[in-house]
Amino acid sequence: MPINSTVGIPQGDPMSPANFSVVTAELINAFNQTKAENFNNKIEQKTIYNSSEWLPAAFGYMDDLFITASSKHEAIQLFELAEYHLNKLEMDFNYSKYKALWVHNGKISQDQPIHTQGGDIFLNEYLKVLGVPITQSQFIKD
């Protein structure tokens, strides 16, 4: 039975993190399974060179979701998987809210945006994760 809603959960609602966890549990499991399959099916030698290969594909905290991918191709694959799962729930991404940090050979890169069927995700020179800046430099200009 579909539940028709005219508004979302208000910002700061105490139920927001719990609802987010319930709604995204299947998505996070699909992310992690897909990334593990990509790694296990990898033809090249498996090394620790690209440490993002060894991390789970998704981490969630409260009502935030962090996705790690070992390549742009994998990032696109994971975002398209997310679009598929969210469409089943009649939800979608607001691409203007998403940011990406691309690290290549140990340096943060300002490469081209990540293009998906649903929208573009632009690359930043830093991200704030739970209020902590992830950056190459010691200075952040907000």
Whether the predicted pLDDT of 79 surpasses 80? yes
Chain centroid to CA 73: 13
Q: What is the reported pTM? A: 0.72
The residue that leads in pLDDT, 79 or 93, is 79
Whether the predicted pLDDT of 93 surpasses 80? no
What is the C-alpha to C-alpha distance for residues 62 and 80, in angstroms, rounded to an integer? 23
pLDDT band at 140, cuts 50/70/90?
low
Identify the burial level of 114 via C-beta atoms within 10 angstroms of its C-beta, where 0-12 means exposed, 13-18 middle and 19 or more buried.
buried
The SS3 of residue 7 is: coil
29-52 pLDDT, tens digit each: 998 899 888 888 877 766 666 667
Q: What is Dmax (Cα atoms) for the chain?
A: 52
> Percent of the chain having pLDDT more than 90?
1
Place of tokens 């690359």: 123
DSSP assignment of 10-51, as one string? PTT-TTHHHHHHHHHHHHHHHHHHHHHHHHHT--SPP-SSSG
The residue that leads in pLDDT, 4 or 28, is 28
Tokens of 127: 């991200």
CB 68 within 8 A of CB 39: no
pLDDT band at 138, cuts 50/70/90?
low
